[in-house]
Amino acid sequence: MTPYRFWPVLVWLFGLLVAFGISLMAGPQWSGPLTVWHALWSSSPGDINELLIRTTRLPRALTAMAVGASLGVAGGIMQTLTRNSLASPGLLGINAGGLFVVVSLTTLAGSLPGWVGSFGAIGGAAVAAAVVWGIAMRRRDEAGPLRLILAGAALTALFNAFSQALLVIDQQGLDSVLFWLAGSVSARPLAQTWPLMLLIVAAVLGCGPCLRQWNVLAAGEAVAVGAGVAIRRLQGVSILLVVSLAGAAVAMAGNIAFVGLIVPHLARRLAGADHRRWLPMAGLIGATLLILADVAARTLIAPREVPIGVMTALIGVPFFIGLIRREGSRGG
Amino acid sequence: MARISADRLTLGYQRQIILRELSLSLPEGKMSVLVGSNGCGKSTLLKAMARLLAPWQGRVLLDGKDIDRQPTRHVARTLSLLPQHPVAPEGISVRGLVRLGRHPHQSWLSQWSERDEAVVEHALALTDLTDMAERRVETLSGGQRQRAWIAMAVAQDTPLMLLDEPTSFLDMAHQMEVLDLLKRLNVESGRTIIMVLHDLNLACRYADHIVAVRNGSLHAQGTPHEVITREQVKAVFQLECRVIEDPFFQVPLCIPFGREAPE
């Protein structure tokens, strides 16, 4: 076996640490590295800056990291599962389903405690994915992935139509769900998000046994069956992992598009076709990208904030187009 | 002695029935070729034998046991499959593709052994791809690409190989190249090869055993001389032809007439 080259992973791991550090320093008033260090390791209760770092910036950086990694990995799994490089977690109706539940709950009950929203979102995401999966995979043939994409698009449109109808009827609800619509990693204390983070860690670890099977699946369903992959089980487990990862991401940060689509492409360009190499890379890149996007989001027009979904698009799109162009000229 | 057989197999897609109560045993250690007109069910039969398609009724037996009741990884150590028009993962190298064939032999504990490495190298050498092992599959020509897929199936190291139209979309020279390679695998390592081919004359040249499928049932089977006759070609393909003896290889040679029959 060709030796596993660790250095690209190490480089990105280092990049992630740097980004994490910057995120703790960044704000309307930047803190120095020393302040950050003190805030993390030796708490002096009176210091307002250190308090800010511990209670606001740290949860925020952790959320961005977890959400970015989840979306990167979940997007990668979806692209392998559907053999479609334009697939993303949103395709399963996960975002739309989560959002619809949040909007419905808000309309029915007024403002919600954070954890109800979180669990509602993840529940809606799971139900949407289950329905899409049920429609697409009921029959055992090769058109499953295509039906998955079509059913996902249809269900997304349906849920979004419901959400919009509810929001038109109940205008006040709009403010309280704007957070989910535009996506945000702010203002979620760790006390609320730690179960979701645990879910993400569990799902990421759960990817381990699937990596080699995904390598075979990437050559097509028929080839995978021929090589002895238990295809229905692998597909089921993969969907479960995607729902856990992307569902938790939606529950934590709302609708952050684009990361799940582009990050797997970057990872494959950098690390090659082997899932054991590029999928961890997708997690690292996603985490780094979202942390940096969040830093930019809250510093560019401080003290106001740009929605993070806007930032991921602003950073991601030119990067992506550049890569496609370079790839094109190399091929031609 | 047959390792793989179909036992009163009824197959279909959705509501459409394709194959009705077909029973068939294929000889071990031989090259068998399924022929028939488009839509007659020959590819469907091959898919069922490769467990890509669950039978409506009946069973596929591998070594006497229902193939759907055996662990798929276990089956994959006996039976490999090259489907029609496979598409390689983006960016994968030839060696990377061939390695995928080792999947059924690996487990959590033994990830990649020296034996795996040796089998992959052997498969590359056999298919004449050693020099191209690091190239990306998408940069290869059609014939080379098909050889790479066959190398993956070879690396799976199974006594039985199923191939669904392995020569389609290849020019004449590449068709011969692929079939010569399969013949070699059959003769040198005694593998049983079962494939679907469209070209009757290539089937006659390379097959030990020909199975003619017509309208979802078995029309005839046997040696090329037994199966490829003027009457049977007319029945199976609705095609006027004459069958003469190939002057070089002593197999039947079918000359299709189509509309412009001589005389």
* A226–B81 C-beta distance less than 8 A: yes
Kindly state whether residue A217 falls inside one of the protein's structural domains.
yes
Q: Do A223 and B86 touch (CB under 8 A)?
A: yes
Please, which residues have CB within 8 angstroms of residue B41's CB and are 6 or more apart in sequence?
A: B11, B18, B19, B22, B213, B215, B216
Query: Which strands sit side by side in the sheet containing B79-82, from one edge to the other?
Result: B79-82, B160-164, B192-196, B31-35, B209-214, B217-222
Which of A213, A222, A273 lies closest to B92 in CB terms? A273
Task: Tell me what pLDDT residue A331 has.
Answer: 37
Classify residue A222: in a domain, yes or no: yes
For the stretch B50-89, pLDDT in tens is 999 889 999 999 999 999 999 999 999 999 999 998 999 9
Q: Looking at chain B, which residue has its C-alpha nearest residue A209?
A: B108
Q: B154-180 pLDDT, tens per residue?
A: 999 999 999 999 998 888 988 998 999
Mean pLDDT along residues A282-307 = 88
Compute the nearest-CA separation of B60 from chain A (Å): 15
A266 to chain B, any CB pair closer than 8 A? The answer is no
3-state helix, strand, coil in chain B (%, to 5): 35, 30, 35
- Position A226: which residue type? G
Q: Print the domain residue range for A303.
A: 24-331
- Specify if A169 maps to a domain: yes
How many residues are given for chain B?
263
Q: Is residue A65 part of a domain?
A: yes
The predicted model gives A152-178 an average pLDDT of: 82
- Structural domain total, chain A: 1
Confidence of residue A43 (pLDDT cuts 50, 70, 90): low
Q: Which residues of A touch B117 (CB under 8 A)?
A: 1
Say how many Å lie between the first and final Cα of chain B, rounded: 46
Taking CA atoms, what residue in A is nearest to B117? Answer: A1
Lowest mean pLDDT among A192-201, B23-32, B106-115: B106-115
Q: Are strands B192-196 and B160-164 parallel, antiparallel or unpaired?
A: parallel
Chain B residue with the nearest C-alpha to that of A217: B89
Q: Residue A309: pLDDT band by 50, 70, 90 thresholds?
A: confident
The chain A residue lying nearest B106, using CA atoms, is A212
Residue A15 has, within 13 A of its CA and on its CB side, a CA count of 17
pLDDT tens for residues B198-226? 999 999 999 999 999 999 899 999 999 99
- Determine whether the interchain pair B13/A141 forms a contact, defined as Cβ–Cβ distance below 8 Å: yes
Instruction: Using pLDDT thresholds of 50, 70 and 90, give the confidence band for residue B234.
Output: very high
DSSP state, residue B88: P
Contact B54 A140 (CB under 8 A): yes
- In this structure, are residues B25 and B2 in contact, taking their beta carbons and an 8 Å threshold? yes
Establish if A279 touches chain B: CB-CB under 8 angstroms. Answer: no
Which of A61-75, A106-120, A188-202 has the weakest average pLDDT? Answer: A106-120
Percent of chain A residues past pLDDT 90, beyond the cut: 31
Which residues pair with residue A162 across a beta bridge?
none
A52 touches chain B (CB under 8 A): no
Confidence of residue A88 (pLDDT cuts 50, 70, 90): confident
Q: Please give the residue that has the higher pLDDT: either B224 or A150.
A: B224
Q: Do A218 and B86 touch (CB under 8 A)?
A: no
Put simply, the answer to whether B76 touches A140 (Cβ < 8 Å) is: no
For residue A109, what pLDDT is reported? Answer: 74
Q: Does A1 touch chain B (CB under 8 A)?
A: yes
Instruction: Select the more confidently predicted residue: B63 or A91.
Output: B63
pLDDT over 90 percentage in chain B: 77
- Chain A residues close to B72, C-beta within 8 Å: 225, 228-230
All residues of chain A having their beta carbon less than 8 Å from the beta carbon of residue B80 are: 226-227
Q: Quick check: A327 pLDDT over 70?
A: no
- Which residues in chain B have Cβ-Cβ distances shorter than 8 Å to A227? 76, 80, 100-101, 103-104, 156
Q: Is B153 within 8 Å of A226 when comparing Cβ atoms?
A: yes
Task: Say which DSSP state A326 is in.
Answer: H
Which residue would you say has higher pLDDT here, A190 or A274? Answer: A274
Mean pLDDT of A270-283: 91
**pLDDT given for residue A135 in this prediction:** 86
Q: Which residues of B touch A (CB under 8 A)?
A: 13-14, 50-54, 72-77, 79-83, 86-93, 96-97, 100-101, 103-104, 106, 108, 111-112, 117, 152-153, 156, 162
Higher-confidence position of A89 and B180: B180
Q: Which residues of B touch A267 (CB under 8 A)?
A: none
Judged by average pLDDT, the poorest of A12-16, A145-149, A185-189, A328-332 is: A328-332
For residue A80, give the CATH number of its domain.
Answer: 1.10.3470.10
User: pLDDT tens digit string along B29-43?
Assistant: 999 999 999 889 999
Q: Which of A35-49, A219-233, A280-294 has the lowest mean pLDDT?
A: A35-49
What is the model's pLDDT at position A176?
67
pTM above 0.90, yes or no: no
**Is the minimum CB–CB distance between A228 and chain B shorter than 8 Å?**
yes
Q: How many Cβ atoms are within 10 Å of A108's Cβ, its own excluded?
A: 11
Is B259 or B188 the better-scoring residue by pLDDT? B188
Q: How far is A179 from chain B (nearest CA, A)?
A: 37
CB pairs under 8 A between A and B: 87
- Evaluated on CA atoms B119, B121, B124, B128, the torsion sign reads negative
Whether ipTM exceeds 0.85: yes
A220 in reach of chain B (CB within 8 A): yes
Query: Would you call A187 an interface residue with chain B, using a CB distance cutoff of 8 Å?
Result: no
Select the residue of B86, B97, B103 nearest A229 (Cβ to Cβ): B103
Indicate whether A332 pLDDT > 70.
Answer: no
Interchain contact A300–B (C-beta under 8 A):
no
Q: Answer whether residue A6 is part of any domain.
A: no
First to last CA, chain A: 31
Under an 8 A CB cutoff, do B100 and A225 touch?
A: no
Is A131 contained in some domain?
yes
Note whether residue A5 is domain-resident.
Answer: no
Q: A81: burial class by Cβ within 10 Å (0-12, 13-18, 19+)?
A: buried
pLDDT confidence of A41, banded at 50, 70, 90? confident
Please report whether residue A11 resides in a domain: no
- Please tell me what DSSP assigns to residue A4: P
Interface contact A141, partner B, CB < 8 A = yes
